[in-house]
Structure 1
Amino acid sequence: MYQLNLDIQDFLTNVWQKKPMVYRQAFKNFADPIAADELAGLACEEEVSSRIVVTQNKGKDWQVVNGPFEDYDQYGEENWQLLVQAVNHWYPDSQPLVEAFRFLPDWRFDDLMVSFATPGGGVGPHIDQYDVFIIQGEGRRRWTVGDIGSHQQRGGNLTSPLIDNFTPIIDDILEPGDMLYIPPGFPHQGFTLTLALSYSIGFRAPSQQELMSQLADYLIDENVGHRRFTSTTDAAGKGVVAQEQQLGMMALIKQLAEDPQYYQTMLGKLLSQNRFELDICESEPVNAEALADAIEDGAILRRIGGLKVLSLENDSQSRLFINGESYSFDAADTALAHQLSDDTELSGDALQVLADSSLQPVLLKLLQQGLFYLAEAE
């Protein structure tokens, strides 16, 4: 269990998405949830997203090598860093660290990235468009963070994530258990002083591109949104599109975006999806009788790592959104559905009540899909 030593209300009011901040001993007596060799083993798997960043030219350039990796000997003992995304999907022992940050809603949560770095290792000065909490595990790393503003991409390369050097407003060394919070848009850079493990808890919100793309996909998939623009206004000229008509066409999009029957399904599917592959649990099919027997034997219902189970406030339908799909239930069981979305595991009477409700078909389907699984009582 990881207990976050943080005044959550003060953080949400004064810090969240406003300014970077260092928190000393955010986790007292911090213990690494994963060892360096275990992290290296994960990066050998094809399904796991990983990369190595090699520091070159005395810290002025960086080379990125994408995994999977077969060995690490070629990189030597300094000036490189291994980063593994979505470790919480593949390594269950890391989930308790993620749980410490569930004071923020699940729809925002992106993944737990873990990095192992040798002395001199880092990824260079860069800007992320998401919120991140960086927890220092084993070792020591120096972090610099600049102010939000206009920053030039390194070498004028508009596709590069790297930027030119910046003037720090934070320049600190993190020890085990310390935490650095960085909102979107603030430039930052880590420099490794000793062999080190770091944990990045990322929170991401959808962009305008993602929202428009998802809305368009929904309209096409559902074969809706056929209303065309009409106008009785005369054209401003033979080759001119009148301002009034421009606004009228865009109003059609605004109308769709403000209609719950269109945007709710789109948002539910978009926000419940994961950017990184899930570790689907392969198991034997479970029917209602087998589920009842398992519950009687004390089984625990658990979701796989990284799975998002979401509901929409004031939804026009009674449903949950899970991994980009919707699952319906009776309105009378809304409280039970919220329990399924809030709790990462259920057992005993709570699971029995759920299995006896209109959510039973949902449970059986989720088990069949390998998104949930039944574990023996410990």
Structure 2
Amino acid sequence: MYSLNLDTNAFLTDYWQKKPLLIKNAFPNFEEIISPDELAGLACEEEVSSRVVVTEDNDWQICQGPFKDYDKFGDSHWQLLVQALNHWHPDSAHFIDAFRFIPDWRFDDLMASFATPHGGVGAHIDNYDVFIIQGEGQRHWTVGEKGQYAAKNNDPTTPLIEGFEPIIDVVLEKGDMLYIPPGYPHQGQTLTTAMSYSIGFRAPSQQELFSEIADGLIDSNTGLKRFTSTDEPAQPSELSLSHQQGMLKLVSELASDPASFQLILGNMLSQNRFELDICEPDEPYTLEDMEDYISQGALLYRIGGLKLLMLEQDSVSRVFINGEAFEFPLAIKADIAQLAACFNFDNQQATLLLENPQTQAFILTLLNRGYFYLGE
């Protein structure tokens, strides 16, 4: 288990999405989540999102995975980044649990990095919240103040910037953590061969919300109400202010009706940016199969990265899983909430869940979808 040495209530009040924070010894006696060799092996897989960033004369070259070997990169000036480690490495679930004081809908992924001396990605600005946790080795981090910064080499397509004046300048060592909110420039450079991890949290933009809402309305053939008016402008070429406001009022009407947006939000926020390691069985489980495995001591696991979200005051009794709504009887709401709250269940917990036939049927559906699996 990973114990986070942080007053989470104070953090949410004083720092979350407000300003950066350095937490020395955030994870006392930190144990590496994955070995460098295991990480390198994952980056050989087609399904895994990986890249190598090579530092060259104050410039950076990005090589996309998968990788067959790493000899060509040499002994320094590069780092390997593997996204969504939590999708492919079950042991990382315990680490992610330490950050669930922030809601699951915001969680993006756990990224792992193996870096050689002088490896780094350059000064840049992210549009999401990130926690950077140092494993073995040392990395030098600087963080600047929010502001307007020139793009690297005047290239409008690059996320890199020319530079900044640091407000945090620190060497991270094993177990240290750095929190950086959106919009704050930062840069990391490896001093010694190092492992590090970043936990990212995202929120939708206005563009993304409007796009999803539009798609949702089209898919459900709803939102068909049209604008009407009680007055017309004197000039035929004029779009009056009252007409402008009346049209936008149609949008605000949708936003004030939960039945119009809850399904869209639930589907949108339960999806993942990265591929999931779906564990569909070779042959569908029967109820008897599931009961037999549990009676023999099997444990129940959720696949890595899968989100189960429930909306407060939802207009329908349902849970959102991987971009899809699953309705359930109100009588088993507590069981569904437990499934959403935990990543895995020991045999006793699984046995208790299966006592209710309606919960049995729901878990059977999740097993046959490959969203949950039975194991030792």
What is the CA–CA distance in structure 2 between the aligned matches of 1:146 and 1:312, rounded to whole Å?
37
CA distance in 2, matches of 1:315, 1:358: 20
Aligned to 1:324: 323
The answer on whether the counterparts of 2:301 and 2:343 sit within 8 Å (CA) in structure 1 is: yes
Query: Does residue 219 in structure 1 map to residue 223 in structure 2?
Result: no
Give the SS at the match of 2:27.
coil
Q: Report the counterpart of residue 41 of structure 1 in structure 2.
A: 41
What SS does the aligned partner of 1:280 have?
coil
User: Is the contact between residue 280 and residue 367 of structure 2 (CA under 8 Å) also seen in structure 1?
Assistant: no
Note the C-alpha offset of 1:360.
2.8
* Higher deviation after alignment, 136-145 or 354-363: 354-363
Query: Does the CA-based 8 Å contact 2:125-2:182 persist in structure 1?
Result: yes
Q: 1:349 Cα shift?
A: 4.8
Q: Which residue of 1 aligns with 2:313?
A: 314
Structure 1 length normalisation: TM-score?
Answer: 0.96
Measured in 2, the distance between the counterparts of 1:311 and 1:294 equals: 28
How many Å apart are 1:152 and its aligned residue?
2.1
1:230 aligns with 2:228: yes
Using the alignment, how far apart are the partners of 1:200 and 1:24 within structure 2?
Answer: 16
Between the aligned partners of 1:253 and 1:19, the Cα distance in structure 2 is 33
Counting matched residue pairs gives 374
Aligned to 2:174: 176
Question: Does structure 1 conserve the Cα–Cα contact (< 8 Å) formed by 2:212 and 2:264?
Answer: yes
Question: Is contact 2:300-2:347 (8 Å) kept?
Answer: no
Question: CA shift at 1:246, angstroms?
Answer: 1.0
- The DSSP-based 3-state class of the residue aligned with 1:104 is coil
One of 112, 126, 130 as aligned partner of 1:114: 112
CA distance in 2, matches of 1:353, 1:267: 31
Q: Does 1:100 align with 2:98?
A: yes
Map 1:40-189 to 2 at 5 A. 40-57=40-57, 60-189=58-187
Residue matched to 1:28: 28
Alignment match, 1:285: 284
Following superposition, the deviation at residue 258 of structure 1 comes to: 2.0
In 2, are the aligned partners of 1:295 and 1:347 still within 8 Å (CA)?
A: no
How far off is 1:362 after superposition?
2.2
Task: Point out where structure 1 has 5 or more consecutive residues left out of the alignment.
Answer: none
Answer whether contact 1:333 1:357 (CA < 8 A) is retained: no
Q: Does the CA contact (< 8 Å) of 1:236 and 1:242 recur in 2?
A: no
Q: Which runs of 4+ in 1 moved over 4 A?
A: none
Change (3 A) 1:75 1:349: closer
Contact 1:327 1:362 in 2 (8 A): no
3-state SS of 1:374 partner = strand
Q: Find the aligned partners of 1:239 and 1:361 in 2 and give their Cα distance.
A: 61
Q: Is the alpha carbon distance of 1:367 and 1:138 closer, same or farther for their aligned partners in structure 2, counting shifts above 3 Å?
A: same
**RMSD of equivalent CA atoms:** 1.3
Q: Which residue of 2 aligns with 1:200?
A: 198
Residues 1:29 and 1:353: Cα distance change in structure 2 (over 3 Å): closer
Q: Distance in 2 between matches of 1:216 and 1:107?
A: 21
* Identity, % of aligned positions: 59
Q: What's the counterpart of residue 341 of structure 2?
A: 342
Give the CA deviation at 1:236: 4.3
Residue 347 of structure 1, CA deviation: 3.7
Aligned to 1:359, the other structure's residue is in SS state helix
Give unpaired runs (5+ residues) of structure 2.
none
Amino acid at match of 2:144: G
Aligned-residue offset at 1:199: 0.4
TM (normalized to structure 2)?
0.97
Q: Output one character per residue of 1:246-271: Cα deviation in whole Å (capped at 9) or x when no partner.
A: 11111111111221111110111111
